[in-house]
Amino acid sequence: MAVLRVENLTLEIPGRRLLDNISFDLERGESIAIMGPSGAGKTSLINCVCGIVKPTSGRIWLVDSEVTLQTASKRAASRLANVGYVFQFGELLPEISVLENVALPLKLRGVPWDDAERRAAHQLETVGLANRGRDNPDVLSGGEVQRVAVSRAMVTEPALILADEPTGALDEENSSRVCDLIFSLATTFGAAVVVGTHNPEVASRAHRSVILRDGRIDARARIGLPS
Amino acid sequence: MIVRLAFRLATSRSPEHRWRQLAVPLASSISVILVLFGSGLLAANRRQEERLLERTPILAEVPSDADVLLQPRADVVNGDQYLTIWLAAPLEGNPPVPPGLPRLPTPGEAFVSPRLAQVLAEDVDFARRYPLWTQIGSDGLVASDELIAYVGLPRDRVNERTHHIVAFGRPSGSQRGLVLGLSDLPRSSQMVTGVVIFAFLPGLILLYLGASANSVLRDHRFQVLTWLGAPRGTLVKVAVAEVLSLAAPGVALGLVTWLALAPKVGPMPFVWMDPLKGDLVLPWWVALLDSVAILAITSTLAAAGPLAIGRRPDLRPRPSLGRARLQDYRLYPLGIAALILLARPWVSEARADGLLVAAMVLMLVGVPLVAPLVVRQVGVHLAHIHTVPTLLAGSRLGWDPIRNARPHIAAATLVALTLTVLGYQKLTNAEIRSGHAPPVALVTVNINVATADEIGQLASELRPAVVAVFREDANRWIVGANCQEISRHIAGMGCDQNSPADFDSTGELRMSQALGLPSQLDLVLAPDLRLGTEWHEHTGSESATHEHAPSDLSQTSHFHDGLLVIDSTTSPADLEQSVGTLTTTALPGSSVLGVSRFRRYYPPSWSWTVAGLAMAAAVLTLGTILPIMDRLTSTRAQRRHLLKIGVTERRLRFLEALLFGIPFAAVIGVGVTAGITSCWLLVSQAHPPGPMPWASIVAVLMAATIPGTAASLAVALGIVGSSTSGQAE
């Protein structure tokens, strides 16, 4: 059954069409890389998928529910329940510790305090940052920040991982490490992955790649790669 | 963790959050003081009403010798009216005593309010009226600045208007009482309206400005939480906890300040309310309730912010800005104000003042609403000038006029308020001048009982003044003097050539003006009029005059006799003073009224307007500072972007100066227009309409424009401005 189904998705702002009639499905455990030049609509597509932006037309199903019919608060609830988001710059909250940052989505879900921190600690362990849990994010390096961000996205074991240029601000070594983490961790609990990237290396890890040009999927550039 | 996250956000050391850390406590502190002050005014009003009630003389149902006899009179000292309560002790029994007095005053003795005692101590002439006086206790006073005297009256100096009093205190059941006060206290509903509009509302505006103080850090935190899918409830909890962490200390400081100040606050000139010290003190639970209410409102205002973040296009992961929409409702207040002003000629005089106040309030409300519309128009035109900074500045003003106008709106409203106050002062001064400086020195004396000898004695002591009996009935004012006597003292008053005792064609009008008589009253000269005698107007050759003894005045209740004193050789104030001094001792129970009794009556709404405008001006001064700082803290990212694309520092400074100066000029222009209109409306209310206070208006304009111009220059020269050195966390 499809975790994500996008059907005829169109997004417009005054004077411009950012996404034009986009359609694709994503099964559990499957991954797709959205490639394309800047301004092609990669971030807009990811924002529509997770419900941050409401599309102008078209339909999106996430797990069992149609996101496009939901109110903003329902979309937020759906995002919390089903999506893990990895941002380009980590977007950790510096007021709370690394461990608390990772535990935050669990606590937002109402998971008991101790349980949330235990699971967050375990998640940090899997990304090699078990000893940084009590630190504040502002003492971490860029690569570490992004690994914590991956942990935060994975800790709830969501059905869908969205990653918007997750390696855009990292060097090659860290880029590779973060990429490995995203795809390997997602595989462990069978999450589907949508990754927006410029980087062909990152895209090559996904089962499928599509290229966006001017808001449309470039039909000539559909690439289907086996896992 | 939510609370911890919020608390750590509130106490963050990030420079991006520093402004909010100052603005929220400051605004909440001043807001709570304003709200407590407003509640204190209501409490003071209630206490004043209670004290007024407690000194109410209760009228006897059946007059008896055991009653205290009471005659309230209005007198004047130094242009101020004061209340004289003549009291005659009963012939038998223990007399009731008004609160604040140890006993009833004996004839020749007076109990006076502290303010009147001060005048007695300072004014030797006035002190001759009450050679023997004692101060009234505070429980007998309605207000601290009250001018009131209880004076002993010989029991044989009363007339039919003297009241028989059985007690002083709150009337109960079928009891009837007299209100002892020269001017009515504001009604509770008026007080509540005034306090809400002029204390609570400015407080809330300030609170809103503080609670919505910009913080890039805070916006980012809510942005991330929103992306993560945090439920609305969580966002609200974080927002409330964050703002409470900042507002609670401010509210506590405001509360403590108020608790320390309230017992010491006495007269307040702007409010024209003179509470006794302690009147403004609130019960602890009311003060606490007010503080909690402020915190609750702050929380509500803060909670709205994060909920809106999802709808803010500039805070999405990839901003997609849209041209700001300006709805038509922004024109409604000014439109309604204009309709009210257009309708004024058809509105009754009784309602005209209220409508004028409403129109002015609407105009002031309209200033912040209309300002963005003006800024957008200015921006659109500016963008057509072909230089890079004007193109960028004009486009930005046209794109988001609300955000660009916001920093200057408080200043514009302040200017409009100040100009309105100027107009009001001009009106008041014109009225007071016309009241204090009449063309003729003239007073009237209301008397209880007087013999011809006493009047003769008074006339000789006041020589060369004309001392004449006057009689007032429903249709006429009859003066017991001839035209020649009076015309010596009233310049420009003509007498009939053929009958010198009568007016000529202009004489009656001139004297009516001098007396301030309404046009519907006929003025008649009757040299043969005597105190307490019946008098019939001459009709042809027939006349009839029946004399009664002066003591028979009590039988003639259909008319009212008094004395008219006119003297061109002295000033009106001196005449008022000298006649008052003579009659208080020579004619107990009498009162002297100068022209001050013809002063125009101001409804309480006027005093509240002045009070409120002054209050709002003070509050909005702070409100001016808050958004300007906000603006400066919110432009850092924009600067960084422009620098990155190669805009030079010099051009950037010029652009920022335009972005600061142009909306400032446009928005202040709106405030000036509204203010001058209000000022003109008020000045035109004076009788006769006075000139506009242009010198003061220019001074206000300079005071308003110099800081903005200086700020624009400072920004242009790089002296102040948003730093690009700091980075958002």
Higher-pLDDT residue of A122, B83? A122
Q: How many CA atoms lie within 13 A of B444 on its CB side?
A: 23
Q: Give the pLDDT confidence score for residue B198 in this predicted structure.
A: 66
Please check whether residue A199 touches B, CB under 8 A: no
Residues sharing a CB contact under 8 Å with residue B359, sequence separation 6 or more, in sequence order: B337, B340, B341, B681
Chain A, window 146-165: residues with a beta carbon less than 8 angstroms from a chain B beta carbon = 152, 164
pLDDT at A194 over 90: yes
> Nearest CA to CA, how far is B693 from chain A (Å)?
50
Q: Which residue of B has its CA nearest to A92?
A: B224
The number of beta carbons lying within 10 Å of the beta carbon of residue A187 is 13
> Are the beta carbons of A75 and A53 closer than 8 angstroms?
no
Residues of A in contact with B221 (CB under 8 A): 93, 95
> Nearest CA to CA, how far is A102 from chain B (Å)?
11
Q: Give the pLDDT confidence score for residue B295 in this predicted structure.
A: 92
Mean pLDDT value of segment B48-62: 86
- Cα distances from B83 to residues B105, B107, B432, B700, in angstroms, run 15, 17, 20, 39
Q: Under an 8 A CB cutoff, do B224 and A103 touch?
A: no
* Burial classification of residue B72, based on how many CB atoms lie within 10 Å of its CB (0-12 exposed, 13-18 middle, 19 or more buried): buried
> Nearest CA to CA, how far is B626 from chain A (Å)?
26
Q: At what angle do helices B572-586 and B452-462 cross, to 10 degrees?
A: 150
Q: Which of B212-226, B277-291, B484-498, B643-657 has the highest mean pLDDT?
A: B277-291
Nearest CA to A20 among A220, A213, A176? Answer: A213
Nearest CA to B100 among B72, B135, B136, B132? Answer: B136
pLDDT at B594 over 80: no
pLDDT at B568 over 70: yes
**Which of A52, A63, A145 is the best mutation test for B, with the most CBs of B within 10 A?**
A52
Residue with tokens 């509204």: B674
DSSP, residue by residue, B530-597: -TT-EE---BTTB--EE---GGGGGG-TTSEEEEEEE-TTS-HHHHHHHHHHHHHHHSTT-EEE-GGG
Q: Give the pLDDT confidence score for residue A215 in this predicted structure.
A: 84
Residue B468 is which amino acid? A
Please check whether residue A96 touches B, CB under 8 A: yes
> Nearest CA to CA, how far is A226 from chain B (Å)?
31
Sheet of B68-77: strand order equals: B57-59, B163-168, B68-77, B80-88, B148-152, B109-112, B132-135
Distance CA B110, CA B85 (A): 9
Say if pTM beats, i.e. exceeds, 0.90. no
Q: Which residue of A has its CA nearest to B235?
A: A108
Q: At what angle do helices B216-228 and B232-261 cross, to 10 degrees?
A: 150
Distance CA B593, CA B584 (A): 12
Q: Give the pLDDT confidence score for residue A60 in this predicted structure.
A: 93
Q: Give the pLDDT confidence score for residue B349 in this predicted structure.
A: 66
Nearest CA to B182 among B268, B324, B42, B72? Answer: B72
ipTM of the complex: 0.72
Nearest CA to B423 among B624, B681, B47? Answer: B681
Mean pLDDT value of segment B564-577: 80
DSSP, residue by residue, B332-362: HHHHHHHHHHHHGGGS-HHHHHHHHHHHHHH
pLDDT at B250 over 90: yes
> Are the beta carbons of B303 and B234 closer than 8 angstroms?
no
Q: Give the pLDDT confidence score for residue A119 in this predicted structure.
A: 93
- When CB atoms are compared, the residue of A18, A73, A83 closest to B231 is A73
Q: Which of B93-102, B212-221, B252-261, B516-525 has the highest mean pLDDT?
A: B252-261
| Strand, helix or coil for residue A199 | coil
| Residue-wise pLDDT tens digits, B82-106 | 888 889 888 877 888 889 899 889 8
| Residue-wise pLDDT tens digits, A135-157 | 888 888 888 998 999 999 999 99
What mean pLDDT, rounded, does chain B reach? 76
| Residue-wise pLDDT tens digits, B427-455 | 666 554 444 444 577 888 887 777 777 88
Distance CA B194, CA B174 (A): 33
pLDDT at B36 over 60: yes
> Are the beta carbons of B115 and B122 closer than 8 angstroms?
no
Q: Give the pLDDT confidence score for residue B708 in this predicted structure.
A: 66
Distance CA B497, CA B489 (A): 18
Please check whether residue A24 touches B, CB under 8 A: no
Higher-pLDDT residue of A77, B325? A77
Q: Give the pLDDT confidence score for residue B32 in this predicted structure.
A: 92
Q: To which H or E segment does residue B71 belong? A: strand B68-77
Residues of B in contact with A138 (CB under 8 A): 729
Total residue count of chain B as it appears in this document:
729
> Are the beta carbons of B69 and B165 closer than 8 angstroms?
yes
